Structure 1
Amino acid sequence: MKVFVVGANGQIGKLLVEFLKESADHNVRAMLRKQEQAKEFETKGIETAIASLEGSVEDIASAAKGCDAVVFAAGSGGQTGLDKTLLVDLDGAVKTVEAAEQAGIDRFIMISALQAHNRENWSETIKPYYVAKHYADRALLQSSLNYTIIRPGGLLNEQGTGKIMVAENLGSGTIPRIDVARTILACLNEERTFKKSFDLLSGDTEVAEALKSL
């Protein structure tokens, strides 16, 4: 399976691209905004495509053409304003959903946020971010795509354990970014994750086994 990673230069995206590159089952194409970023990936033998989430649906679809799955792992980041939250986390995600449909790519994995589906549980300090995630997820749910929506808790830059817990609703908690990337990789071909949305936290169960509980 050739996987088109949107947000490949982000923290989760970079980890996922490395996992895909090393995988015997998958190939990867990294979507990047700038040619300078592409050079770094290409020196590692990673295929790239230049496109912007603030560009057109057609540009994203063209960049993804020929891939079998799309992973949306992009984010505007905590240092940008609310305009970028709207343009990247919401509109960029919706454009990518539309681009996947346009390119004839059925499989789509969205990285959302813990409890994005439950308005009453949104953090007041980053509520606009939750609004963006909520409606981006809703656009995917209403699409024709074979989706999986992963809603991780607070993201950590730790080594990770490869052990997680997944459920429709989980309380507050955290998870290392590398374990989120491991979960995305495992979801690609795991049929129990097809047409499913779930919260994701660190836990006591190996990733592949945890996903079988969905």
Structure 2
Amino acid sequence: MIVLLDLDGTISDPYVGIRNAWRFVSERLGLAVLDEEQQRAAIGPPLEDTLLSLGLDDHAVQQGVHAYRSYYDTTGLFENTVYPGMPEVLEELGGTATLALATSKPADTAARILDRFGLVHHFAVVGGATRDGSVRRKADVVARTLAELGSPDPADVTMVGDRLHDVHGAGQHGVRCLGVRWGYGAPGELEAAGAYAVAEAPADIPRLLPSPGSA
């Protein structure tokens, strides 16, 4: 069995760092500061997509990406906390499954976060976006991660994540998705997107995953 896990809103809570990074972007680009609802909605989708949704042109989007990463890559990524219970769940799952990360964050940033929390050793692959933007949507991240895992049978793979992007991105490759309630999805978002089940707490994840060898 292979389990792909999202990072933000699934393994760790990045809200403080992302909030502060968006404030930095607003100052640099002269934009109105995102309200809390907008900041929370920005956790999950690609950074470029959120900037485009603000009505920015391509040049301003690239300026925004640069400003965001200049803050987040040095400070914001450490303004982050692991959800209680997730380290134990990763330890348990690692005994029966191959774990891989599949996040819309740049892969190198995600690896630094996992390393800081002492969790990177659980993952056979740390899959994420590329900094040139060629891989940024969750479906592209999932495709790249599966390729690095040797292109396993999708029936043997489960995605775990907190947003509709996780469900849809995995589904484009025939991979089922288990949702998690403690992240940043809106009420009913995961069910509407097609998650086969939703974990209410980290400890629920192992029992809600398919048994090894089951389709």
Larger radius of gyration: 2
Higher RCO, 1 or 2 (CA under 8 Å, sep at least 6)? 2
Q: Which has the higher helix share?
A: 2
Name the TM-score, length of structure 1 as normaliser: 0.37
Q: Which has the higher strand share?
A: 1
Name the TM-score, length of structure 2 as normaliser: 0.37
